[in-house]
Amino acid sequence: MKKHLRALNIMLCVVIAFCAFTSCTSAPESADESAPPTIKILLRGDEQGLERVINKLYEQMDAEHSWKLEINLTDVGSYGNELNRVLTSHEDYSLVFDAPWISLSAMSQSKSYLDLEKYFCNVQYSGLYESFEKEYLDANRIDGKLYAIPITNSYYDPTGVFYRRDILRECALGFTEISSREQLWQFYDAVLEQFPDIAPISIGNRGFYLLNSLDLSMRNDNLFDVTGWSFFDYPAKIVLDESCGNVVDVVFAGDESSHFAALDTPYNTDFMAKYLLDNAACSVYAQEDSMFAVEGRDAFVHGQSASYEAAIGTGGSDAVQKILAQNAPNAEVGFWCYEPSLNAENREEAGIISTMQAWNFLCVPSYSTSVDETMRFLDWLYSSRDRLDLFTYGVEGEDWLADGENGYIMLDNPEGTYSFPAYSLSWNLKYQRIGQTLPENEKSLLEYTYNTENYTPSPLAGWTLDTTKISIELAQLTALYSEYSTAFSHGLYGDSTQQKIAALHSKSQELGLETVRQEIKRQAQAYLDT
């Protein structure tokens, strides 16, 4: 079910115990019982069944403290514009969702969000204090401040391809599950030939995601994103030497061969351009008018495509299949993670290099007049696993059942399948569950990525680009790339892709690309030297 904007106005009555601990700041103020404050939250995505979750929350609450909670959900295709409108017009929101791939860095550096430091170093906000460890918070600072609350359930959310296993079997290719890139292309070619009425893959308006740019593999080879200037704003990679103590270069698509020649295979040619060229090569498999689609999942769950690209999330193929079953009852969903280092035979302890940074955040607008009440509510929410489980999985006994300490089983709820963008509110590193009916490959993948011992901090963890000195150049380059990005990400330039890469690079040089390159190198090296 789609919608542009949905609001749920719900009175939440809650109690938070006042902790008699000393702290680095004052204790939370008591709420005015005669006029419950409104906590208004802007989130990205859609929901189904949220009202019954809120009703169950009532049963955990006490009348001593109360909030009026208003949750507005905006569809993913419109969210960026809606967030910008809200912040520009100073609309009265207590919390908003933002991310590095939306506008987090720019909004934080322009002081559009409040620094929430005092609420996380204050033991009287015990729910927040226990749920967000200092190391995690430090890695998610922007210019040394806590402008955003990091929301994640692991330091890396595996991405891959959800696909129709039933269609794969009908193709009779000699394999019944996908475990390699070669098999994926065989499957797509077979779908084109045998199932002309559906697309091999459906992609949303963001285009191909990481299918052709293996981010984790690049980290393992000492290639890192520029934190603070999104890869999707303008593709760039920082190249470190083998010791990870020195910046070798910062590379862009279309750079001269000298920028790549000294690198190891397969990076010794323009691998940044290859990413865009591969998108063009894959475009033959995508649905028509893909740039007008909101998400690739929409066509898939309506039986209009044989696959789509996404992170595995918390529900994996089980969650996707429950939605697909409403339109294709006999369909069967599989998931293939395309990162080679996450294949079962390649997994190593501490084998995932991570910035320890979240992809999703909650922020308090700088003009908010309800900061204490907002943080009081979040403290209450995060002080209980049951409350977080409600938002993440739905109502226990109706939408799901606990299976052991950290497992769960999804149920068929006659009222409909519960769905909510838990990544924007209730995910947390402290609490994770794994679906016990998932295929073994998905269960083992989640077990591996949920285990914090399987992570090694990136040498650039905690560093964010200070854009002050190059703000004009970055703005110009980002604006320039936006003229090309849709066609690049969807592969629409086809045989002209290489020419478009050259044109982008030439225009970028005129707008200060070299200045930006040198400033990124300088800042990253300074961070490594500290």
3-state secondary structure 160-197: EEEEEHHHHHHHCCCCCCCCCHHHHHHHHHHHHHHCCC
Half-sphere exposure of residue 68, counting CA atoms within 13 Å on the CB side?
10
List of domains in the chain: 5-154+356-441 (3.40.190.10)
Residue 5: what pLDDT? 41
Tokens of 45: 């995505």
DSSP tally for the chain: helices H, then strands E: 18, 17
Q: How far apart are CA 205 and CA 489, in angstroms?
A: 9
Q: Cβ-count burial of 158 within 10 angstroms (0-12 exposed, 13-18 middle, 19+ buried)?
A: buried
Distances (CA, A) of 149 to 95, 99, 200, 487, 529: 10, 10, 38, 33, 28
Residue 121: what pLDDT? 78
Q: 3-state DSSP call for residue 159? A: strand
pTM across the whole model = 0.87
Vertex 446: Cα angle to 445 and 452 (nearest 5): 105
Q: How many residues does the chain have?
A: 530
Residue 497: what pLDDT? 98
Q: Which residues of 392-420 are buried (b: 16+ CB within 10 A; e: fewer)?
A: bbbbeebbbebeeeeebebbebeeebbbb
- Residue stretches of the chain with pLDDT short of 50: 1-32
Residue 97: what pLDDT? 99
| Run of H or E residues at 69 | strand 65-74
Residue 33: what pLDDT? 53
Q: How far apart are CA 379 and CA 360, in angstroms?
A: 18
